[in-house]
Amino acid sequence: MSKALIIAQSENGARELSVAARSLAQEVVLFVAGANAFTNVADKVCHVDVPGNRIADDAYVSLKNVFDSEAPQYILAEDCLASLSLIGRLAAQTGAAVITGVRSFDGDTTESLYFGGVGVRYAKSLSDVKMYVIAQDAFDASLATGSDLVEEVAFIEPDCAVEKLSSEALPPASVDLGSATIVVGCGRGFASKDQLQLARDLAAKLGGEVGCTRPLAEGADWFPREAYIGVSGQVVAPHAYIAVGVSGQMQHMVGCSGADLVIAINKDKNAPIFSQCDYGFVGDIATALPALTAAL
Ligand SMILES: Cc1cc2nc3c(=O)[nH]c(=O)nc-3n(C[C@H](O)[C@H](O)[C@H](O)COP(=O)(O)OP(=O)(O)OC[C@H]3O[C@@H](n4cnc5c(N)ncnc54)[C@H](O)[C@@H]3O)c2cc1C
């Protein structure tokens, strides 16, 4: 009987993997480290209780033991940090290939999007054991099926462990870019955190949301991480995307390629964004934004 081992940290992720796995194998076993043992999503759950001073990624020796005893033909991992780390370790230990970002299967052929959706790639693993990372929302989690059978698996201390010093919950997401019809995207052209108020005023006038480029969320910390748009951040599809002080690098622009209209405001008339927008204004944020907001 063909078997798939799925590696997940969140319940929704486990449910999506379960649906993907059932399209490949007759039996599905879920490996979950640290989080709760989600039931009714797989035929069996192998749950590892991770000690408080360790991180889920360190359950890789326990995972290898489960892999050896279950002998699956397929490994599917959720696209989240711990599961990526775990499948990477397992691939390195077993010498298998991993295909990432999988959205669908046609037999052994996988379909993945790359670079935030600028292209689609079809690929096939030549390994005996097939390992896949499944893209978020690619499979319908509501179709998951399974039993309530849970097997507790011992946490085995790895040779190279990570010590968890502390952790704390962050405030819930403060922006909802996915459903916004207008997004004002802020870039490094903003001189200070205070100057972002000009973008917020414009967004408020238009009933929109404010997002940013990656450097403003990672590094400057002017925005929460979920507010940055691009290949490694949010992909948005508003009616209008207003890019302010944004140069127009490809890694950012693929994140707003679904916008019906792109408007750019930049003081450099040679900025690359001007060749990627529908309307462009050459001007300084300090004067152009208040004037635009006042004119609306
Ligand atoms: C692997 C990888 C992944 C990445 N993923 C992402 C991603 O998902 N999202 C993302 O955004 N970036 C991402 N980046 C970073 C990306 O390559 C760019 O560095 C980043 O998008 C640039 O941000 P920016 O346009 O705000 O800054 P800059 O490129 O520095 O541009 C600032 C712009 O502001 C203009 N400006 C300056 N002052 C003013 C003013 N007073 N008034 C008007 N205009 C002004 C300048 O002319 C300039 O064009 C990634 C990079 C790598 C290597």
pLDDT value at position 281?
96
Q: Give me the pLDDT at residue 136, please.
A: 82
> Which CA distances in Å does 13 have to 139, 143, 144, 184, 271?
9, 12, 11, 31, 40
Residue nearest to ligand 1 atom 37, measured at CA: 189
Q: How far is CA 192 from CA 15, 40, 229, 245, 286, in A?
A: 43, 50, 19, 12, 11
Query: Which residue's C-alpha comes closest to atom 6 of ligand 1?
Result: 251
Which pLDDT value is given to residue 173? 59
Smallest CA separation from ligand 1 atom 27, residue: 188
Cα of 248 from ligand 1 centre, angstroms: 7
> Ligand 1 mean position to 216 CA, how many Å?
9
Report phi then psi at 139, rounded to 5.
Answer: -125, 150
* pLDDT number for residue 178: 81
What does the DSSP assignment read for 112-171? EEETTTTEEEEEE--SSSEEEEEPTTSS-GGG------EEEE-----SS--------PPP
CATH class name, domain 182-295:
alpha beta
Give 253 Cα–ligand 1 centroid separation in angstroms: 10
The pLDDT of residue 216: 96
Segment 23-37, tens digit of pLDDT: 999 999 999 998 788
What are the extents of the domains in the chain? 3-153, 182-295
User: What is the reported pLDDT for 28?
Assistant: 98
Q: What pLDDT was estimated at residue 116? A: 63
Average pLDDT per consecutive 10 residues, the chain (296 residues; last block may be shorter): 96 96 97 89 97 95 98 97 97 96 95 78 96 92 94 95 87 74 97 96 95 93 91 90 97 91 98 97 97 95
Residues with CB under 6 A from ligand 1: 187-189, 213-215, 228, 230-233, 245-247, 249, 251-252, 255, 266-268, 271, 284-285
Contacts of residues 174-178 at CB distance under 8 Å and 24 or more positions apart, as own/partner, are 174/224, 174/226, 174/227, 175/209, 175/210, 175/211, 175/223, 175/224, 175/226, 175/227, 176/209, 177/209, 177/211, 177/226, 177/227, 177/229, 177/234, 177/236, 177/238, 178/234, 178/236
Write the residue with the smallest CA distance to atom 14 of ligand 1: 251
Phi, psi of 155 (to 5 degrees): -75, 125
Q: What is the pLDDT of residues 103-121, one digit of tens each?
A: 999 999 999 987 766 678 9
Return the ligand 1 atom nearest residue 186 CA.
26
* Whole-number pLDDT of residue 114: 77
Task: Give the CATH architecture of domain 3-153.
Answer: 3-Layer(aba) Sandwich (3.40)
* Ligand 1: nearest atom to the Cα of 188: 26
230 CA closest ligand 1 atom index: 8
Q: Do domains 3-153 and 182-295 have the same CATH topology?
A: yes
**In the numeric block, which tokens belong to residue 157?**
């201390």
**Residue 177 Cα to ligand 1 middle (Å):** 18
Closest-lying ligand 1 atom to the alpha carbon of residue 187: 26
Q: Which atom from ligand 1 is nearest to the alpha carbon of 216? A: 26
